[in-house]
Chain A
Amino acid sequence: VDVSGFEGFEKRLELRFFRNQDPLENSMGLRLIDFESLEKVLQTVQCTVVSAIANKSFDAYVLSE
């Protein structure tokens, strides 16, 4: 391991999905994933939510690290 400071350069992952059913059903889609489940996914990545904001279009979370 080299002598290092904090790695600023990010890794970015974008996943897109399509609906298997009537688009009018479940218009919230992925936004229905409960917070606890999101936190479990983030634990595997090794970060957590430190702040959050949302509007009618999407949810935005600031993460640790």
Chain B
Amino acid sequence: SSLFVYPTKIIIKTCGTTKLLKSIQPLILLAQNLNLTLSACRYTRGSFIFPKSQPFPHTSFEEEVVVLEEAIPLSLRHRKASVLPSHEPSRAWHVFTASVDFDSNSCVVVEVCMTELDRFLSRSFFGRNGKVMTRESGIDLINANAIVCDFAFDPCGYSMNSIDGDRYSTIHVTPEEGFSYASFECVASVYEDIGEVLKRAIDVFQPGTVSIATTYGGEEYNDEVMTKRVESVLGKKLGLKCRSSCVEVFPGSGTVVYQSFTSCRK
């Protein structure tokens, strides 16, 4: 799990059975003490592998939305909750957004979820220290300019944050057979080739299934061109076939493109 604190932005990403939405009101209060007022809220997640193990309100997206709606002030008037479908019902993408006004942000946030990780490559994430896992898995080569802060869990599992100027990326790995999972998230620019970065990150795990949610604001990002480019790179270089793709606009909060892939060997 990861926490990123910028001067006017906080991102928390947690896995397991954590109660993430409980952080909203304390964070709003802490910000108020610094004369900062909430202007936008975004909550996203994939479909849980073990949904019945989640605590309230993460028991359903509907209940999460009720809690989100109650936790944020009415001034965040542009609100929308939506479930973006995939070719498999169990791989949907859940998005809630709320904002005071349209926030034209040229940054692109890419969230990647991977399952059915390659068994051999997953072994790198057992019984070693974080630095060794970073190096031997090839994670250090995804962005050679970034500074990596890594952590190995006992007896297995791995998390890392990397920082490169004002941009972060983060990877979390659950390597156990049967419910193996890895995520990659990064902030990209509309002007760079996201496909190549994704190729390097996904190649570390060679997963059987991949989903990619790309969120962007502003008008510089051409989602049709970028979607095709990502499909092309992942298809040609990693043997991943795009099974479904959808685009949805979230008023005041930008646009989300959600693509699902499976390995051609499946």
The residues of B that contact A46 with a CB separation of less than 8 Å are: 17-19
A11-B58, A17-B31, A51-B149 known; A30-B5 Cβ under 8 A: yes
B13 to chain A, nearest CB (A): 4
Q: B121 within 8 Å of A by Cβ?
A: no
A1-36 vs B: 1/0 string, CB under 8 Å?
Answer: 110111111111111111111000011111111000
Number of interface residues of A (CB under 8 A): 53
Query: 9 A-B residue contacts at CB 8 Å?
Result: A13-B24, A14-B11, A15-B24, A17-B9, A17-B39, A31-B5, A33-B5, A51-B130, A60-B3
Q: Are A20 and B12 in contact (CB under 8 A)?
A: no
Query: Is there an interface contact between B48 and A44, defined as CB atoms closer than 8 Å?
Result: no
- Across the interface, A55 reaches (CB within 8 A) one of B7, B34, B163, namely B163
* B interface residues (Cβ-Cβ under 8 A, vs A): 1-24, 26-28, 30-31, 34-50, 52-54, 58, 99-100, 103, 111, 113, 115, 130, 147, 149-151, 157, 159-161, 163, 165-166, 168, 170, 172, 174, 176, 178-183, 185
Residue of B36, B103, B170, B174 near A19 (CB, 8 A) is B36
0/1 interface trace, chain A 35-65, chain B, CB 8 Å (1 if under): 0011011101111011111110111111111
Given B8, B22, B24, B50, which contacts A7 in the complex, CB threshold below 8 Å?
B50
The interface residues of chain B lying within 8 Å CB-to-CB of A19 are 8, 35-36
With a cutoff of 8 Å between Cβ atoms, the chain B residues found around residue A42 in the complex are: 3, 23
Pair A10/B34 contact, Cβ less than 8 Å: no
Interface of A is mostly: mixed
Cα A48 to Cα B227 with chains together (Å): 36
Interchain CB contact under 8 A, B166 and A58: yes
Bound state CA distance, A46 and B33, in angstroms? Answer: 24
* Nearest CB in chain B to that of A33: its residue: B30
Instruction: Considering the complex, give the chain B residue whose CB is closest to the CB of A28.
Output: B7
The reply to whether B7 and A7 contact each other, CB–CB distance below 8 Å, is no
Determine how close the nearest CB of chain A comes to the CB of B183; give it in whole angstroms: 6
Min distance, Cβ B5 to any Cβ of chain A, angstroms: 4
Further 8 A-B residue pairs, CB within 8 A, beyond A6-B15, A51-B130, A61-B3: A11-B21, A12-B11, A16-B9, A28-B7, A30-B5, A30-B7, A44-B23, A63-B14
Q: Which residue of chain A has the shortest Cβ distance to B159 in the bound complex?
A: A62
Residues of A contacting B13 in the complex (Cβ-Cβ under 8 angstroms): 10-13
Q: Please state if B149 and A53 are interface contacts (CB–CB under 8 Å).
A: yes
Select from chain A the residue with minimum beta-carbon distance to B178: A5
Chain B residues with Cβ below 8 Å from A62 are 1-2, 149-151, 159-161
Residues of A within 8 A of B115 (CB): 8
The docked-state distance in angstroms from the alpha carbon of A50 to that of B36 is: 27
CB <8 Å contact, B21 and A13: yes
- A6 touching B8 by the CB < 8 A rule? no
The CA-CA distance from A1 to B54 in the complex, in Å, is 9
Least CB distance from A1 to B in Å reads: 6
Contacts of B185 in A (CB 8 A): 12
